[in-house]
Amino acid sequence: MRARVVVSAVAASLLPLVPQANEVLRHSRLRQEARQDSPVQPSPQEGEDAYWVQDHLFEDWFGMGGPMRTNQVQLVGQFTTDLLGNPVGGLRQGFAPATSLGLQLQAGFDRWLPFEGLEFVTSMIWRTGENLSADDIGNFFTVSQLYGGENLRMYEFMLRQYLFDQQLDLQVGRQGALDQFLAFPIFGNYVNNGTCGNPKGLFYSVPAFGETVYPTSSWGAFAKWQDPDHRWYVQAGGYLLDSHNGNNDTHGLNWTFDVDLGPAAFVQAGWNRNQKPTDPGLPGTYAVGGFYSDAEQEEFTQPGVYRSSAGAYAVLQQMIWRPDDSEANLRRSRLFWGWGGQSGLTAFTAVVATPDDQISQFPWFVNGGLVYQGLLPGRPEDFLAFGYNWGATSGPWQQQQQALSQPSPAREVVLEWNYRFAVTPFFYVQPDLQWVINPSIPDALVVGAQLSVTF
């Protein structure tokens, strides 16, 4: 019998709301693809200068890098910390650090099998810290995207098969659905969890999805087909959701098939415009998708009545302006960031609809922003970002909260400004400002920074 999900302000605050896709290897892979497609290869550097332009702190892994590459083994880690406080507003003033240490291993089998493209992928995550939003501010959209799953846990444990010159990507095993769906690299430019990873409103409206989002994995299967030039793609995935997946005491090793939350399904189609390093036009990415969760959610105003949930989303990302002199930085930026990376101003927005307001806390959630990469001369890897998150709560949810004598805000808005200073390709410092608007609390100012090292 499937577990029934009851959504309330208290329950939602306890969900593992940490939709952060593993961008480390994704960006590394995109940079490799950009280098392969670039007509001009970067000049080799040696000695001390080469160290400061390499992708990872431990590029050679203490002498093991060569043997690992020979045997198709790739090991990548990332340590990130958020140091945030709210000197103004909220329930009270406070300071809350949060840290995340992740490690991912990919191993290919081309040398030992008669066919190519099979990989084994596994990863782990260790998180510590405090939740400034829950403890001191009292808002929904967590100001630190690193908070959630505070312990050591296994994440991925799966096989990936590439076929037809990597046009077809198949994955099966323990994985996070939201690493593949409603996940775009530009979201990683932000510190607030409303944007970074995946749009946050989805997890309040469909709590079961908290069991298949980083750093919580589930059993699943995923397939993606794209054209040879990576211009368009279609993808689909099915996942088995267990309410115990995110429990800290299981350390990500609850691998039983006691799927009490039932199955979940996702589909997505997208078009990548002007993404190749040789494309002269302004790059853009457009995607639409849908989802279904079989987990039964109780209606807000009719206790004892349950039903499953479904919804849809759209994401639009388009560079809208590039300075006349940016062509000199174009190739270098793309070699650093991968496809789509170049100096200029990019706008994006994401809209998530879960229209059943009897079970969806945020029937409509919208986020978006502006990212200017290469604002300062000679610094094409830096970017300045502005972002917003807007969510309107449903009328039935407000009625439920009022009946429980709980706060029942009609909306929440979070505005964010940050500047990411790329000290090296493997280390950045990102000062951050956020302004939280929620009618149930005094407007809050959040000040702090994010620091990250890729090794």
Per the document, the length of the chain is 455
**In this predicted model, what pLDDT tens digit does every residue of 211-232 receive, in sequence order?**
999 999 999 999 999 999 889 9
What whole-number distance in Å separates Cα of residue 408 and Cα of residue 262? 30
pLDDT band at 15 (very low <50, low <70, confident <90, very high): very low
Range(s) of the domain holding residue 90? 4-454
CATH code at position 218: 2.40.160.180
At 175-209, the pLDDT tens digits run 999 999 999 989 999 999 999 989 999 999 999 99
Return the pLDDT at 70.
Answer: 80
> What integer is the mean pLDDT of 51-57?
73
- pLDDT on residue 18: 31
Give the pair of three-digit tokens for residue 302.
């009719």
Q: What angle do CA 339, 376, 436 make, to 5 degrees?
A: 80
Instruction: Enumerate the β-bridge partners of residue 108.
Output: 119
13-17, 147-151, 428-432: range with lowest mean pLDDT: 13-17
User: What is the distance in angstroms between the CA of the first residue and the CA of the last residue of the chain?
Assistant: 44
* Whether pLDDT at 398 is above 80: yes
For the ranges 67-81, 114-128, 347-361, the lowest mean pLDDT is seen at 67-81
How far is it, in rounded angstroms, from Cα 236 to Cα 182?
12
The answer to whether the CB of 360 falls within 8 A of the CB of 335 is no
How sure is the predictor about 173, in pLDDT bands with cuts at 50, 70 and 90? Answer: very high
Q: How many domains does the chain have?
A: 1
pLDDT of 368 above 60: yes
Which pLDDT score, from 0 to 100, does residue 67 have?
79
pLDDT tens across 230-253, in order? 899 999 999 999 998 888 888 888
Q: Of 385 and 9, which is predicted with more confidence?
A: 385
Average pLDDT over the chain, rounded to an integer: 85
- What percent of the chain is modeled with pLDDT above 90? 62
User: How far does CA 191 lie from the centroid of its chain?
Assistant: 11
Q: Which residue has the higher pLDDT, 252 or 172?
A: 172
Greater confidence (339 vs 390) lies with: 390
pLDDT at 374: 83
pTM score, two decimals? 0.87
Instruction: Give me the pLDDT at residue 60, please.
Output: 73
- pLDDT band of residue 32 (cuts 50, 70, 90) is low
Of the chain, the percentage scoring pLDDT greater than 70 comes to 84
Q: Could you tell me the pLDDT band of residue 55, with boundaries at 50, 70 and 90?
A: confident
pLDDT at 48: 52
Helix (H) or strand (E) run with residue 202 in it: helix 201-205
Q: Which two tokens stand for residue 96?
A: 């809350």
Q: Categorize the per-residue pLDDT at 381 as very low, low, confident or very high, splitting at 50, 70 and 90.
A: confident
**C-alpha atoms less than 13 angstroms from C-alpha of 37 in its C-beta half-sphere:** 20
Check whether 387 has a pLDDT greater than 70: yes
Inform me whether the pLDDT recorded for 269 exceeds 70: yes
| pLDDT at residue 389, as a whole number | 97
Q: Flag whether pLDDT at 169 surpasses 60.
A: yes
